[in-house]
Amino acid sequence: MRKRPFLLFFFSAAFIYFPLEFTTRWFAFGHFNAVDLVVSGILPFVLIYGLVKVTKMGWYTLVGVISLLGVRDLQAYYAAQGTWQQFIVHIIIFLFSLSYFINPRIRHLYFDPKLRWWRTKRRYETHLPFLMSAKAGEGSEWQYPILRNISEGGCFIETPHPLEMSEWVDMMVPLPVPLGVSVLKARGEVRWVTRNPRGPGMGIQFDKLDPAHDKALKEFVRKEL
């Protein structure tokens, strides 16, 4: 499995400067206020964690933290509570990191599930018979698309009529070897869609499965892999 880009760690780690600066001020003056503790001491660690884990919240936190720190720096600068050198250093860090994270290719990592390859579980390529319904209850209409692959976390369904993002589907997959259950039943959410004529379809992320079906899925995938 490929690893996260080194630059992702590098540009995320740039924000460690603010907790270090806060600690230096704390030892120098012997006191601090709660706002400074949260903004300079805690939020940067939350930000770094979110960026490294590649979560939407991490990307939004990046914008929020830079906004908060920027407003605070401007207030300190105009109130003559800080030095212009400190202000310039902060601006350089903001621009340094944003120049990487606002790059469209990098930004898509946080919003496109297809690109988060380090979070993808090993998949078993298959052509198992498969039943799917996008409607729950008595009015359900079952379809028979092609199940191209399956993992412990989800599957890819090839179909010329993929659903929209965030729609929910019910699925039934007859297992070739009974593993506690003969038909795997699952519910999942559409996490990405492709309409490429060479292989249109959609990626489904499984919701929390019934324990028996979850165990059967894990055993099946591990056995096939």
Q: Where among 58, 91, 115 does a domain terminate?
A: 115
Is residue 1 included in any domain, yes or no?
A: no
CB neighbour class for 220 (10 Å; exposed up to 12, middle 13-18, buried from 19): buried
Rounded Cα distance, 97 and 7, in Å = 10
Do 63 and 97 sit in the same domain of this protein?
yes
Is residue 177 included in any domain, yes or no?
A: yes
Residue bearing tokens 């979110």 = 50
Question: What pLDDT is recorded for position 56?
Answer: 84
Q: Where among 89, 115, 141 does a domain terminate?
A: 115
Is residue 30 included in any domain, yes or no?
A: yes
Q: Where among 66, 81, 115 does a domain terminate?
A: 115
Do 101 and 40 sit in the same domain of this protein?
yes
Report pTM: 0.52
Find the helix packing angle between 6-13 and 43-53, rounded to 10°.
Answer: 170
* Of residues 70, 79, 68, 82, the one with CA closest to residue 35: 68
Question: What pLDDT is recorded for position 2?
Answer: 44
The CA-CA-CA angle for residues 153, 169, 114, to 5°, reads 45
Could you report the per-residue pLDDT of 3-60, keeping only the tens digit for each?
A: 567 888 999 999 999 999 989 888 888 777 888 888 888 999 999 999 988 888 888 9
- Retrieve residue 22's tokens: 């806060």
For the chain, the domain total comes to: 2
Could you report the per-residue pLDDT of 129-153, keeping only the tens digit for each?
A: 788 887 654 455 778 888 888 888 8
Could you report the per-residue pLDDT of 169-205, keeping only the tens digit for each?
A: 898 888 877 788 888 889 998 888 888 887 788 989 8
Do 176 and 98 sit in the same domain of this protein?
no
- Retrieve residue 107's tokens: 């930004």
